[in-house]
Amino acid sequence: MERKVVCVTGGSGFIGSWIVKLLIQGGYTVHATVQHLNDEKETKHLEALEGAESGLRLFQMDLLDYDSLLAAIKGTIGVFHVASPCTVDRVTDPQLYYYPHNQMAKQVPQSDSTSKSQCGQPYRWVEACYLSSFFKTALYAEKAAWEFAKDTGLDVVVIHPGFVLGPILPPVLNASMIMLLRLLEGSTEEYGHFYMGPVHVKDVALAQILLYENLSASGRHLCVEVINHWSDFATKLAELYPEYKVPRFPKDTQPGLLRTEDGAKKLIDLGIQFTSMEETIKVSVESLKSKGYIS
Ligand SMILES: NC(=O)c1ccc[n+]([C@@H]2O[C@H](COP(=O)([O-])OP(=O)(O)OC[C@H]3O[C@@H](n4cnc5c(N)ncnc54)[C@H](OP(=O)(O)O)[C@@H]3O)[C@@H](O)[C@H]2O)c1
């Protein structure tokens, strides 16, 4: 059977590399984008994935370079748009967040009408956003995607992962795993402007693939195991790992944020079974240990 070809922008990243891994396992051919093809830190962990030899093609892509975006999506029947500078620090170039939607999305339905009819599946764009007032740019990005979808009929589904943790595939740490590492090292930063919802990276990747494959899925999807405060998360981490210097926070760290167990009801109804926060913490800390970030 002919393999379906999809694109994962930001395929080298923490979440992206899990999506690439699961898509290849699922029989897809993946066009994964990296920023620098000649940098082994961005490519080697992807090339080492099982099935990569036949199921993976790497593309050098810069979010602000239209031609590089187009080359990566050409010949595909869907896009998992994950690439984005993801930082706990302030954003310096908001263009990076909304440019791709205005430029890249423009090409999607037109460029691949042939593969669309061959596979009998409409072109689908899965967008990963960060739901936080701190990351206003991501909200602009989502708005741009929705507006474009309205104007052109492009099939867009959106996912809002919370605080993504889990086994690390790339050789560099992403922002959320750095936050966990800092907490283990005793940082008292409260991230008051973040919305908190721990979730396992594999569940995020599975949810994105589910949203891509399930054509009845539409709209926005919160992707968290639980919604809680940084203080709740720190308390659980300290309880599980008393040997580290995890601080206790005497008060709520996200004032006004309502705690809930089933915030991701829409994804649960679609069949996602979320890993518990306790299990997610354990595999994340063990991954940090095995990679030598902590002893
Ligand atoms: N981690 C979380 O807790 C979390 C939560 C919600 C949403 N998200 C969203 O999920 C996405 C991925 O997050 P992540 O944690 O996997 O981050 P990450 O590990 O830092 O991955 C970011 C990816 O984007 C690529 N990228 C960055 N700037 C780029 C540019 N200018 N041009 C082309 N590619 C660029 C990176 O490429 P290189 O590796 O080649 O540099 C990398 O593949 C982001 O959109 C983030 O906002 C993350």
pLDDT tens track for 82-97: 998 776 655 555 555 5
Cα separations (Å) of 279 from 166, 178, 186, 247, 269?
9, 18, 21, 20, 22
Assess if residue 254 is contained within a domain: yes
The DSSP call for residue 276 is P
Assess if residue 271 is contained within a domain: yes
CB 265 within 8 A of CB 145: no
* pLDDT for residue 53 is more than 50: yes
Cα of 12 from ligand 1 centre, angstroms: 8
Residue 115 banded pLDDT, cuts 50, 70, 90? very low
Cα of 96 from ligand 1 centre, angstroms: 11
* pLDDT for residue 122 is more than 80: no
Using the atom order of ligand 1, give the atom closest to the CA of residue 81: 45
SS3 116: helix
86 lines ligand 1 (CB under 6 A): yes
If one counts every other C-beta atom within 10 angstroms of the C-beta of residue 5, the result is 20
Nearest CA to ligand 1 atom 41: 35
Name the residue of 7, 8, 15, 177 whose CB sits within 8 Å of the most ligand 1 atoms, as the mutation to test its pocket.
15
Nearest CA to ligand 1 atom 7: 130
Report pTM: 0.90
Q: What's the whole-number mean pLDDT along residues 160-182?
A: 95
Q: Which amino acid is present at 74?
A: K
At 255 the pLDDT is 87
In 3D, which of 200, 196, 197, 203 has the Cα closest to residue 166? 200
In 3D, which of 129, 123, 249 has the Cα closest to residue 191? 249
Structural domains in the chain (count): 1
Assess if residue 79 is contained within a domain: yes
**Widest CA span in the chain:** 59
Assess if residue 295 is contained within a domain: no
Check 41, 44, 136, 143 and give the catalytic one.
136
pLDDT > 90 in the chain, percent: 65
161 lines ligand 1 (CB under 6 A): yes
pLDDT tens per residue, range 267-288: 999 999 999 999 999 999 999 9
Using the atom order of ligand 1, give the atom closest to the CA of residue 138: 47
In 3D, which of 116, 121, 30, 105 has the Cα closest to residue 70? 105
* pLDDT for residue 136 is more than 70: no
At 240 the pLDDT is 98
Taking the CA of residue 237 as centre, how many other CA atoms within 13 Å lie in the half-sphere pointing to its CB?
28
The structure tokens 């959320």 sit at 176
* pLDDT for residue 140 is more than 80: no
At 146 the pLDDT is 85
208 lines ligand 1 (CB under 6 A): no
Q: Which residue has the higher pLDDT, 60 or 120?
A: 60
Q: How far apart are CA 93 and CA 116, in angstroms?
A: 34
Our answer to whether residue 245 is catalytic in this structure is no
Nearest CA to ligand 1 atom 36: 10
Assess if residue 170 is contained within a domain: yes
Q: How far apart are CA 257 and CA 155, in angstroms?
A: 31
pLDDT tens per residue, range 189-236: 998 877 779 999 999 999 999 999 998 999 999 999 999 999 999 999
253 lines ligand 1 (CB under 6 A): no
The structure tokens 């739901």 sit at 131
Q: How far apart are CA 109 and CA 107, in angstroms?
A: 6
Q: How far apart are CA 201 and CA 167, in angstroms?
A: 8
180 lines ligand 1 (CB under 6 A): no
By residue range, what is the domain housing residue 230? 5-290
User: Lowest-confidence range among 26-40, 58-72, 104-118?
Assistant: 104-118
In 3D, which of 274, 245, 7 has the Cα closest to residue 162? 274
At 142 the pLDDT is 80
CATH of residue 180: 3.40.50.720
Strand 219-223 and strand 78-81: the pairing is: unpaired
The structure tokens 């005793």 sit at 186
pLDDT tens per residue, range 20-37: 999 999 999 999 999 999
